[in-house]
A = this chain, B = another copy of it.
């Protein structure tokens, strides 16, 4: 094998990397989790539910998730605006995965700060 040659090429097409890129991060999993538990939520409800997020961030993340077809956005043409967010069928399939992550995290990451 030549010098500097890469044996694998995991980073770019690794499904896990893609996942982290699209569903991971600081806010997206929380948004999905909330919608999973609460069904339909309005923008302001999500804003209040998520500690520390700014409206700017929230709308950005929602847009990303909508583009990935994880969430569904329904906008009512009223004033003041009313927009409802909920999970798509695809988004709902994240349920087990998130539960798994949550469980692992509770077991392994919580409480080792002492």
Chain A residues in the interface with B (C-beta under 8 A): 5-12, 14-22, 24-27, 29-30, 33-34, 45, 48-53, 68-69, 90, 93-94, 96-98, 100-102, 104-106, 108-110, 112
Known contacts: A25-B24, A100-B96. The answer to whether A49 contacts B19 by CB under 8 A is: no
Contacts of A48 in B (CB 8 A): 5-8
Contacts of A24 in B (CB 8 A): 20, 24-25
* B102 and A100 within 8 A (CB): no
Please tell me how many copies of the chain the complex holds: 2
Contacts of A27 in B (CB 8 A): 11
Contacts of A34 in B (CB 8 A): 8, 10
Contacts of A14 in B (CB 8 A): 30, 33
Known contacts: A8-B51, A10-B30, A108-B90. The answer to whether A100 contacts B97 by CB under 8 A is: yes
* A29 and B16 within 8 A (CB): yes
